[in-house]
A and B are shown apart, each in its own frame.
Chain A
């Protein structure tokens, strides 16, 4: 009789467990479908913004993000295809170092444009750009600085020229950093 009781108890447990399994499976499926939908929506928006920011920064051309595996968007890789003005459409890897860095910056700006943050710290992200592109980068910052407050760490002249406030970090005493506030060209304090 004891065995029978145990058997019934275990069967009930089994039943519970099977229901829990079913529920969890449902939760997972739900999450997957929410993620798919939201990812696709946002991806499309990022893509549109990316193309727009790219055109603005490169003065033309076009850029596109491509899902490698459209059947499996939650694991698919993402390719970046760009066409700088006057050049053929090509994969990101075939561009020069500076063009690649500039494309990456365009993508970051595209994401920022979609989800603006109140402030943004940029740590030497324009180091690889040439002077002309640094200028465009700085102009872009200036244009969007009414939406987002930017703090940029930089050693490029073009960016410094666009700044409203400048701080200099120096290490007069070995190993100890000091900060001085600067007005373009002259030292204040």
Chain B
């Protein structure tokens, strides 16, 4: 599996539709500061289901839509499509080419599509499960990751190792069990109170 094509329209500074074709090997994106280079990695993160507007350097999700300039009107929606070559069948879907698309409107409404068929965000997550691709995987590394490693607190550095060692899913399950345990203990306390009360009534 590899990346074939990225199409962006109305996303951040890309007012007009643009298309990047990726070949195997190394593709470099260059340009002066502030020209919108990093918006390309944001677009990839976004189409893979990024939910945090902060990670995309925006306040709310609608901020990713082209906001207009002095000479241009703002746009009504943003759309990003990412196309993969799946001829090796790594993605669990019966197509040799897979395109995932995400669109967001000013109203805040979001749409996801796999090969032009509407789907849920969950379907996109599931499509990339266990491929190492995705918003939390190691497929997109920004300046922030480097800073995380270089953090002066050795405790803050843990996150990256926990993700890399694949224990995150157990951590979530453990937290769930802990929550249930806490609830059970609360209930036990209340029952014990009631039982003590009933015992007092029974004995005399």
- A: residues with CB less than 8 A from B are 3-4, 6-7, 10-11, 13-14, 17-18, 20-21, 24-25, 27-28, 31-32, 34-35, 38-39, 41-43, 46, 65, 68, 75-80, 92-93, 100-101, 104-105, 107-108, 111-112, 114-125, 127, 141-142, 145-146, 149-155, 159-160, 162-171, 173-179, 182
Contact = CB atoms under 8 A, between A and B. Distances in A.
Given A31-B170, A169-B36, A6 B26 contact: no
B184 A153 contact: no
A176 B154 contact: no
B138 A111 contact: yes
Contacts of A21: 181, 184-185, 188
Contacts of A79: 154
Contact of B161 (A4, A43, A171): A43
A115 B168 CA distance: 15
B35 to A, nearest CB: 5
A167 B167 contact: no
4 closest A-B pairs (Cβ-Cβ)?
A: A77-B154, A177-B36, A42-B165, A175-B69
B62 to A, nearest CB: 17
Contact of A14 (B30, B178, B185, B192): B192
A43 B162 CA distance: 9
A167 B177 contact: no
Interface in B1-56: 1-3, 12-16, 18-41, 44
Contacts of B96: none
B181 A14 contact: no
Contacts of B160: 111
A89 B27 CA distance: 36
Q: Is the interface of B mostly helix, strand, loop or mixed?
A: mixed
Given A165-B22, A175-B69, 6 more contacts: A24-B184, A35-B174, A116-B132, A118-B2, A159-B28, A169-B29
A56 B148 CA distance: 23
A175 to B, nearest CB: 3
20 contacts: A10-B191, A14-B188, A18-B188, A21-B181, A27-B173, A28-B174, A34-B167, A35-B167, A38-B167, A115-B166, A117-B139, A119-B139, A142-B25, A149-B2, A152-B26, A164-B23, A167-B30, A169-B37, A175-B69, A178-B16
Nearest to B139: A117
B194 interface: yes
Given A14-B191, A142-B26, A171 B35 contact: yes
B128 to A, nearest CB: 10
B138 A115 contact: yes
A165 B3 CA distance: 13
B30 A118 contact: no
A120 B141 contact: yes
A153 B41 CA distance: 8
Residue from the set B26, B32, B145 with the largest chain A CB neighbour count within 10 Å:
B26
Given A117-B133, A123-B142, A123-B143, A170 B177 contact: no
Given A7-B199, A21-B185, A68-B154, A151 B27 contact: yes
Contact of A152 (B29, B178, B191): B29
Contact of B157 (A77, A153, A162): A77
